[in-house]
A and B are shown apart, each in its own frame.
Chain A
Amino acid sequence: MSTPHDPHAAELHRLVSLMTGDEKHSAAATSTLDVVRVLYERVLDVSPSTAGDRTRDRFLLSKGHGPMAYYAVLVDQGFFPESWLADWATYDSPLGYHPDRNLVPGVEISSGSLGHGFPLAVGTALGLRAQGIASRVVVLVGDAELDEGSNHEATELAAALGLDALTVVVVDNRSTSYAVPGRIAARFEVEGWDTVTVDGRDHDLLEKALSHRGIGRPNAVIATVEEKS
């Protein structure tokens, strides 16, 4: 499932295993892994040493569910120690089933309730623009998360205000009830977003799609992965 000749993948899977407790993870645990890896390894300008800078790029994990891949990448990038992973979701751990920005270094928003991160990302992009900061804001949503109407409010306003700092990446594992093929991309396109659909496991395609910054138009990347089983 990972890009061939990627020895680093084994290391990330080892980190995920510290939380899932098994060698072969469920697809839900790793549906976002390649997208989040590519963002931190190839796209975003943010690191532990710049995590407090006003001009850093921001990644917002909107859905918050299945954060194991996110935590593994943050450990791999040096945001917090690997030793935190083993006892995650215990009473005194900073790591919950949904990430908390006030507890976990490098986490931009506290999420878990669906439909909040995308609107927060729109506000973040507006706040950066108002301050003349050119940083990018990338927000990850799930395809089922788009059921929430608040996302559609965000889709419309981001295009209307031309928020080209904003990228939404939809990790589509076809987990929504009442799916309509092609609906997600069509929704973004009709609102005026630059929109592309890519293989959510192909690192080079993801890098190209996630690095795109349009002119006066926000960017939507639909990253398709294996169907949720």
Chain B
Amino acid sequence: MDARQQFARTTADLVDTDDSVALVYAEISAQYFGDVEARHPDRVVNVGIREQLLVNVGAGMALTGMRPVVHTFSSFLVERAFEQVKLGFGHQDVGGVLVGAGGSFDIPGGGRTHQAPGDVALLDTLPGVHVHAPSNAVEVDAILRTVVAGDGLHYVRVVGQTNAAAYPAHGRFHVVRRGAGATVIALGPVLDDVLVATAGLDVTVLYSSTVRPFDGRGLRAVLGSPDVVLVEPWLAGTSSRVVAEALRDVPHRLLALGVGRDEHRHYGTAREHVRAHGLDAAGIRRSLDAFLAA
């Protein structure tokens, strides 16, 4: 099952089992929600193609004590309705679970309008937003169950890119490989490429699906050499700030890999876009070799 189908299945289960959970969506993914909407028409609401309303309807439900799951493509959820996220949830100080699909380039044929590599960086301008980047269906299921049962404002980035292994999301880095040299941080579904890229290198590889809050303590605990490499499948440099904060008293060098700022006017496949941004194993290895040799 792909990650988005898993999101729909898990959310339907949460709506079925907890009367305080609501699902608000804006046409997108309607093909998955028909059954649960028929069972719970008051708690599963399709607002139509109205994304400003989408976010504030979720926030309004939260004001009455419910736990809303708010869903559409990342570009419309975070970018079009950003002020609604900032004010409807943040400024009101109510919680909810925003689930964005599509990410940086899940819909390559759709072009720029359906690509949101800046989503994490935008949300990172707001205080207290938890950001999760699950990397396969198992992680999607576990993270949704945890954050819907919890409190606060969460963004769950559900995308087509995957990692083979599922790791528990306890908010701390998993040490996937231990070495004496650089520390390579894989955030979200880039780990498989990172592991291929670092094969044979004496480096440490960290993985987490929890993007914010960032596990700065975990990074400090494993840091061997002063070289840090960040790999994230959204706007390059998004997490440079939190690495700098974690290592503010530690002299270090940072290579921040991610999706470039330039608009790529190409369609094709997601994998071609991964490659174009240098985020496939060969691209990561090239950047890594140049960085470590410098």
Q: Which residues of A contact B (CB under 8 A)?
A: 54, 100-102, 108-110, 113, 115-116, 119-131, 133, 149-150, 153-154, 156-157, 160-161
Q: Which residues of B contact A (CB under 8 A)?
A: 19, 22, 24, 42-43, 45, 47-48, 50, 52-53, 56-66, 68, 83-84, 87-88, 91-93
In the complex the two chains form, what is the Cα distance from A120 to B64 in whole Å?
A: 11
Distance (whole angstroms) from the CB of B189 to the closest CB of chain A: 32
Q: Is B61's CB under 8 angstroms from A153's CB?
A: no
Q: Is A119's CB under 8 angstroms from B65's CB?
A: no
A-B pairs under 8 A by CB, number: 101
List of A residues within 8 angstroms of B24 by Cβ: 123
Distance (whole angstroms) from the CB of A153 to the closest CB of chain B: 4
In the complex the two chains form, what is the Cα distance from A119 to B63 in whole Å?
A: 12
Q: Is B57's CB under 8 angstroms from A123's CB?
A: yes
Q: Is A108's CB under 8 angstroms from B63's CB?
A: yes
The answer, among A101, A119, A133, for a CB contact under 8 Å with B53, is A119
| Residue of B47, B57, B66, B84 contacting most chain A CB atoms (<10 Å) | B57
Q: Is A126's CB under 8 angstroms from B53's CB?
A: no
Distance (whole angstroms) from the CB of B39 to the closest CB of chain A: 13
Q: With A54-B64, A109-B63, A130-B42 given, name 7 new contacts (CB 8 A).
A: A122-B57, A123-B63, A124-B64, A127-B65, A150-B56, A153-B47, A156-B48
User: Taking A113-B83, A157-B50 as contacts, is the C-beta distance between A126 and B92 under 8 angstroms?
Assistant: no
Distance (whole angstroms) from the CB of B215 to the closest CB of chain A: 29
The answer, among A120, A157, A160, for a CB contact under 8 Å with B59, is A120
* Smallest Cβ-Cβ distance to A110: which chain B residue: B91
* Smallest Cβ-Cβ distance to B90: which chain A residue: A110
User: Taking A116-B88, A130-B66, A150-B53 as contacts, is the C-beta distance between A157 and B47 under 8 angstroms?
Assistant: yes
List of B residues within 8 angstroms of A128 by Cβ: 64
Could you list 12 examples of A-B contacts with CB < 8 Å? Answer: A109-B63, A116-B84, A119-B56, A122-B56, A123-B24, A126-B42, A126-B45, A127-B66, A130-B22, A131-B65, A157-B48, A161-B45
Q: Is B56's CB under 8 angstroms from A126's CB?
A: no
* Smallest Cβ-Cβ distance to A133: which chain B residue: B64
* Smallest Cβ-Cβ distance to B51: which chain A residue: A153
